[in-house]
Chain A
Amino acid sequence: MANKESTFTNMVLTLFLVTLAAATTLGFIYELTKEPIAEAKLRKKNIAIQKVVPDFTNEPNAEAYDVAVEGDTLTLYPARKDGKLVGTAVAAFTEKGYSGLIRVMVGFNANGTINNISVLQHQETPGLGDKIEKGKSDWSRQFNGKNPEDFQLQVRKDGGDVDAITAATISSRAYCDAVEKAYKAFQKGGLQ
């Protein structure tokens, strides 16, 4: 190996040049991908909203507004069909998951019943807690069509009406917590 000598100047200069080249390239790629990434995120959000509320004709994203609940701020997306409110999607989250943060999108019909829920992000144990996802099991369907008014959003162990996932009570609890939070936000500011 015909390496350059390890003098101080050589080392500083090399590291400077290498990091400069890396930073320039990354900056360039960042500029290049900034818009597609933003677009992809927006599309993902729109798909998540579409999944949880009844058919709509407006742009819920453009009409989104924030509601503060118990020190957290949740975003609500009103869905209208021909100007009439048909439902509201609430982006809610909880940090009580088995592996931390769980983000969900909860869709309410105009009368307050849960239309559908989809999980946006979680890190629950594969094979156990990840059954909160629609694709992994039917567990989350038990919420559909229920009105939290007369459906206690707590697992049966805690005196609620929700069947917990076997061997994943903590994940189930956290999921209920997120939905509960979404419902509170919906009650507070969902019927605008």
Chain B
Amino acid sequence: MNQWQNFSKGFIKDNPVFVLFLGLCPTLAVTTSAYNGLGMGLATTFVLVMSNLVVSIIKNLIPGKVRIPTFIVVIASFVTMVEMLTEAFVPDLYEQLGIFIPLIVVNCLVLGRSEAFASKNNIFSSIIDGLGMGLGFAMALTVLGAVREVLGSGSLTLIPDVLEFTLYQGDGMLVFVLAPGAFLALGYLIMLADKVKKKMY
């Protein structure tokens, strides 16, 4: 597998959300708007790249039986770091994402990539894998957030006050902003992604 395939597999072929069904907890909880989805996706990407990097560096030093606890410690450290750094230096972003950042620890996508990829591959491939998977995750969350926001609140927010559109006035279909709407929208998006995937591969 060349590096381009390694990178691009996260978008459609092995998309974490639409194909692998990894990290569904933050996916369903956070995507009430496109901006929230994007922010969560990018924060996850950072943690994913850093933890993949560290795991692939230390992979030969870790006894097999304690590898999962070790990975969790590495991931949790990076998440805590991200949380403290955003709170200190970009408080506005922290305000928006604050409650979601700790959720990254329980995102099985991050642990899944450490276990399935970074612990078996070299450093460079692991970084590329983390980047591709992370951006694929971010894409999926942004699309899901956009669908729910457009149908539920009648607006589309990519960056508040900069890229913000109001599509129609009024309340929209509120169910899409609530939890059941996340499942509905995700179901249809998975069907679409499956169609696209079958066409491409």
A residues at B contact (CB < 8 Å): 1-7, 10-11, 14-15, 18-19, 22, 25-26, 29-30, 32-33, 36-37, 40, 43-44, 123, 125-128, 167
Chain A residues with CB under 8 A of B73 = 15, 18-19, 22
A126 in contact with B177 (CB, 8 Å): yes
A1 in contact with B119 (CB, 8 Å): yes
Query: In the complex the two chains form, what is the Cα distance from A7 to B63 in whole Å?
Result: 8
In-complex Cβ contact of A126 among B32, B64, B67, B89 (8 A): B32
Taking A18-B74, A37-B88 as known contacts, 7 extra A-B pairs with beta carbons closer than 8 A to each other, sorted by chain A number, are A3-B60, A3-B63, A18-B70, A22-B74, A44-B91, A126-B33, A128-B178
Chain A residues with CB under 8 A of B70 = 14-15, 18
B63 in contact with A37 (CB, 8 Å): no
A11 in contact with B77 (CB, 8 Å): no
Chain B residues with CB under 8 A of A44 = 91
In-complex Cβ contact of A127 among B58, B69, B77, B178 (8 A): B178
Q: How many residues of B contact A (CB 8 A)?
A: 36
B85 in contact with A29 (CB, 8 Å): yes
Question: At the interface, is chain B mostly helix, strand, loop or mixed?
Answer: helix
In-complex Cβ contact of A33 among B63, B64, B84, B99 (8 A): B84
Given contacts A22-B74, A29-B81, contact A125 B62 (CB under 8 A): no
Mask of B50-94 contacts with A, CB within 8 angstroms, 1/0: 000000001111111111011001101100110011011101000
Query: In the complex the two chains form, what is the Cα distance from A127 to B178 in whole Å?
Result: 8
- Nearest chain B residue, comparing its CB with the CB of A41: B91
Chain B residues with CB under 8 A of A126 = 32-33, 177
A3 in contact with B64 (CB, 8 Å): yes
Question: Shortest Cβ distance from B149 into chain A, in angstroms?
Answer: 9
